[in-house]
Amino acid sequence: MKTSLLQIRLTSEEKEKITVLSSQSSFISVSGYVRACALNEPIGSRFDRGAIFELIKINADISRLGNLLRLSLKDNNKYNIEQLKLIERNLLVASEKIKSMVAS
């Protein structure tokens, strides 16, 4: 159980920076964040790296589909209506994936 208290003096800018960094970390409290920093413990992030990687892959897929769509508009004879509809469906699916990941 934590019973000892340590007080430090900070400038308002330092306090603000520590508060912001703490809110971006996996720690619930500023004191937990400062304690981990002082004891040279690992500082985790609130961001899910797997979700970020998944969003990067989805973004790449959307870029490829967008390029295909751009090419199809540039050269109408290159893609038929079924292919354009497939591209549109794929863009909608990717968009829904992103919305669901951002919402959770």
pLDDT digits (tens, 9 = 90+) for 29-64: 888 889 888 888 888 776 667 777 888 888 888 888
Of 50, 44, 46, 86, nearest in space to 69 by CA: 86
Which sequence spans correspond to the domains of the chain?
1-46, 49-103
Contacts of 42 (CB under 8 A, 6+ apart): 36
Most confidently modeled range among 15-19, 24-28, 61-65: 15-19
Q: What is the pLDDT of residue 13?
A: 95
Other C-beta atoms lying within 10 Å of the C-beta of residue 41? 10
Nearest to 68 by CA among 97, 94, 41, 44: 94
Residue range 64-88, pLDDT digits in tens? 877 877 776 776 666 777 887 887 8
